[in-house]
């Protein structure tokens, strides 16, 4: 068992909140945990612990949403096939690249995805072989390097018009596959080291508490508003992390680096204001029913 210092207690609180969000909306554990944890640890230490936790988390979410798998598995099958070469390439990149640049890539990739999702970007997309295979390849690469895949997956499934149980089942199915295969690739590359094992024990209490609590609480909240507020929190964290890593790799001087965080916060506040002024629970419920009618 690890000795708990201030950083580890901070991670316990972070993972508890991230697990709470994951239990509520079906994803968000890694996209909330990783940006904060990268302040203290590199991807090579952090990723193996995150991946093992996510195997169990994603299997749990899949079991809860098994009814939707029968409907969505054909849609996600091309994505699942595309994952395999992407994960292999990403695992190799993780062992080869300088940790600071991996952090930089993590933040610069996920920040635009979060902001696009926050903006409510919608385009009709069919997960055909033409779209699914390259999307899966890029998703596998992104996940094995960063352990983050929730934002692009959510964008894909939201733009396919999936209803709630189908959305969560599709997410869980892809994330079980990507986390399991990534764990095997990490094992083959010798990435499971003692420091990662210590973080694994740190993550367990937050996950055990957060996921069931999130599943319970979301029944009493407007899920769209809760999801949107979580996006804002995520965007602000990623903006902060990107500013810090710009200083770490000597790309921008300290005074100017935090302008990236300021810009991310300003953009998100504008998007959040637009969302809150146009959203209502009644409208959201009607939209969900209309989507269900179309899918039927």
Per-residue pLDDT of the chain (296 residues; tens, 9 = 90+): 555 566 678 888 888 888 888 887 777 788 788 887 887 888 888 889 889 988 988 888 888 888 878 888 888 888 899 999 999 998 988 888 887 888 888 888 888 888 887 777 666 565 566 778 888 898 898 899 888 887 787 777 766 666 667 777 888 889 899 999 999 999 999 888 888 888 888 888 888 888 888 888 877 777 778 878 888 888 888 888 888 888 888 888 777 888 988 999 999 999 888 888 886 554 444 444 444 443 33
What is the pTM assigned to this prediction? 0.76
| Rounded Cα gap, residues 206 and 8, in angstroms | 12
In a domain, 236, yes or no: no
Which of 112, 130, 131, 108 minimizes the C-alpha distance to 121?
112
Say if 261 falls within a structural domain.
no
Q: Is residue 158 part of a domain?
A: yes
Determine, yes or no, domain membership for 137: yes
Distance CA(248)–CA(287), nearest Å, equals: 45
Length of the chain in terms of residues written: 296
The Cα–Cα gap between 150 and 114 comes to 9
Our CA dihedral for 5, 6, 11, 13, rounded to 10 degrees, sits at 120
Number of C-alpha atoms within 13 angstroms, CB side, residue 249?
14
State the total domains in the chain.
Answer: 1
Query: Is 269 contained in some domain?
Result: no
| Angstrom distance (rounded) from CA 155 to CA 157 | 6
Structure tokens at 196: 């990662």
Q: Which tokens hold the place of 237?
A: 């964290």
Task: Confirm whether 270 is domain-assigned.
Answer: no
Contact (CB, 8 A) for 22 and 16: no
Burial class from Cβ neighbours inside 10 Å (0-12, 13-18, 19+) for residue 213 reads middle
Q: Supply the range of the domain harboring residue 201.
A: 6-216
Tell me whether residue 76 is in a domain.
Answer: yes
Q: Identify whether 39 is part of a domain.
A: yes
């Amino acid at each position: 068992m690890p000795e708990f210092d201030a950083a580890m207690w901070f991670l316990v609180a972070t993972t508890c909140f991230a697990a709470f969000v994951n239990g509520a909306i079906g994803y968000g554990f890694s996209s909330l945990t990783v940006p904060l944890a990268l302040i203290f640890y590199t991807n090579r230490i952090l990723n193996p612990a995150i991946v093992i936790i996510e195997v169990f988390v994603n299997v749990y979410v899949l079991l809860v949403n098994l009814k939707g798998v029968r409907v969505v598995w054909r849609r996600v099958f091309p994505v699942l096939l595309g994952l395999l070469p992407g994960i292999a390439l990403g695992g190799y990149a993780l062992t080869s690249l300088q940790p600071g640049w991996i952090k930089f890539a993590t933040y610069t990739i996920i920040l635009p995805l979060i902001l696009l999702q926050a903006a409510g970007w919608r385009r009709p997309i069919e997960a055909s072989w033409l779209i699914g295979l390259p999307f899966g390849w890029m998703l596998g690469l992104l996940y094995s390097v960063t352990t983050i895949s929730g934002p692009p997956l959510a964008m894909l499934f939201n733009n396919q018009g999936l209803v709630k149980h189908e959305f969560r089942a599709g997410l869980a199915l892809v994330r079980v596959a990507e986390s399991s295969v990534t764990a095997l690739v990490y094992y083959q590359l010798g990435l499971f080291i003692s420091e990662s094992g210590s973080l694994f024990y740190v993550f367990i209490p937050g996950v055990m508490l957060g996921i069931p609590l999130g599943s319970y609480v979301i029944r009493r909240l407007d899920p769209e508003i809760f999801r949107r507020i979580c996006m804002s929190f995520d965007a602000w964290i990623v903006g902060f992390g990107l500013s810090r890593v710009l200083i770490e790799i000597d790309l921008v001087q300290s005074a100017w680096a935090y302008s990236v965080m300021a810009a991310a916060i300003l953009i998100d506040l504008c998007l959040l204001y637009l969302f809150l002024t146009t959203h209502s629970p009644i409208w959201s419920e009607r939209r969900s029913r209309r989507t269900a009618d179309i899918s039927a």
